[in-house]
Structure 1
Amino acid sequence: MTTILVTGGTGTLGRLVTERLRADGREVRVLSRHTQPYAVDLREGGSGLDAAAEGVDTIVHCASTPRGGDERAATNLVAAARRAQVGHLVYISIVGVDRVPFGYYRTKHTVERLIEESGLGWTVLRTTQFHDLLVQLFQGLAKSPVMPLPAGVRDQPIEVREVAARLAELATGAPVGRTDDMGGPEVRTFKSLAQAYLAATGRRRLLTNVPLWGAAYRGFRDGGHLAPDQAVGKGTFEEYLERRFGRR
């Protein structure tokens, strides 16, 4: 039976990938910093990582953090995969990592290149942002009576369950390199998304558009993080909000 290792297997995406693979009858190992028997910090590597990769056919690399360390983690993971002769490494990335000069995006792009140059069979899937990331952003912005929004920026959020299903499909197939991007069903203004969030949570806030500065802001304003030609997602932001907060 094929054995699949999911890094970040207890996170928002990794947990759903694990559930989907197991529901399909796959043997899955979950790697995270605090989950036995494969409690491993990828940034440190070591014998625990080698044990997790031993006998594995495919690795789905979902572990990531904007707080830093992704490049070191990927380097350690690739080295362990080589030693274990893993046949397929699947990586989840973000639409626009090669177009928007934002720090976290640059890191994700570097990890893509590490995987492409690893000598392993590889697949990279880029998607637009998950619905829950927008909610996290709006929760922070809504702490003030006036809710500032980046002027001129749109977004195309996607349902994380759909991404998990696609990753599980890719993990059980042969390496394909850069596969088609996945975008959410709608490209929306930040104002319309914020209004949907406020309606779903029963809050009242004054919305104001704030022009920002810098190359990263210009990249987002120009839509470098969007995939309008790959709007393959089905679940809308409003459907996610209703599921999370209930109907109002």
Structure 2
Amino acid sequence: MAHSVLVTGATGTLGHCVVPEAVGAGHRVRALSRKRRVGYTGVHWAQGDLLAGTGLDAALDGIDVVINCATQPTGGKDVTSTANLVAAARRTGVRHIVHVSIVGIDRIPLPYYKTKLRTEQVLQTSGVGHTVLRATQFHDLIRTGFAIQRFSPVLWTLRGVRFQPIDVHDVATRLVELVDDEPAGRVPDIGGPTVHSHAELGRMYLAARGSRRKTVALPVPGRIAGGFRTGANLAPDNAAGTVGFTDYLARKP
């Protein structure tokens, strides 16, 4: 069934995959950006600022469903942005907000995770129909964590920590599927096809680059690392997609 869909964060890592996925599913797609943009066949760009709360009523006019991919990783800004989105959704009669979040945010005390949990709570008390999908870390994030060590003589990894990286296109597909469903609150978390230790992922990264560097597992103390060591960031019972980390690396230059 075709819906009028607004994608927030449309130029970000996830949003730029969600937009064409939603178009391909037959929806009437509008993409939100702070600046005027063009691109993507069949997509109308709306100008608005979630953090400032400007331009949102016009962007949401006639919209059935919002896929909320917008995020800013510092300063707790997501809470304000989500509150502004919810207020505009109430004013304009949006029936459903599909919101992406992160597996383990209620069990791992990262400041960013605490902010993401608060954004979920904004939705829960909003009175607007919503669906929250938590996903594990994207392949891009794992790769970036290794890439920033390019001048180190060894590749440092986190001892005792595992990840279940997921391809951003697989998350986009699931979010667009949820557009056709009724608002469901929090739905089952999703993760990538395989759980790996951080060291295993590091060796995959080095092999893809033809590097002879060694991996060294670093013990990291504290409650944040402890949360990861418990596996709170994993969703082994709901693996999604078929793109593993080595497949992802093979696509990257």
TM-score in terms of structure 2 length: 0.92
**Separation in 2, partners of 1:75, 1:182:** 25
Contact 1:14 1:62 in 2 (8 A): yes
Structure-1 residue corresponding to 2:42:
none
CA RMSD, 1 decimal: 1.3
Structure-1 residue corresponding to 2:85:
77
Moved more, 203-212 or 163-172: 203-212
Show CA shifts across 1:97-135 (max 9, x none).
111111111111111111111101110001111111111
1:243 and 2:243 are equivalent in the alignment: no
1:10 and 2:11 are equivalent in the alignment: yes
Pairwise CA distance, 1:159: 1.2
Contact 2:166 2:240 in 1 (8 A): no
* 1:1-248 map, 5 Å: 2-36=3-37, 37-46=45-54, 48-68=55-75, 69-245=77-253
Q: How many residues are matched? A: 244
**Separation in 2, partners of 1:140, 1:34:** 30
- For 2:8, the aligned partner's letter is T
Pairwise CA distance, 1:148: 1.6
Structure 2 SS opposite 1:12: coil
Unaligned segments of structure 2, at least 5 residues? 38-44
Show CA shifts across 1:183-236 (max 9, x none).
111110111101111111222323211111221111011111111111233211
**Separation in 1, partners of 2:61, 2:207:** 49
Unaligned segments of structure 1, at least 5 residues? none
Pairwise CA distance, 1:155: 0.4
Structure 2 SS opposite 1:157: coil
Where has structure 1 moved over 4 Å in runs of 4 or more? Answer: none
- For 2:195, the aligned partner's letter is V
**Separation in 2, partners of 1:120, 1:87:** 7
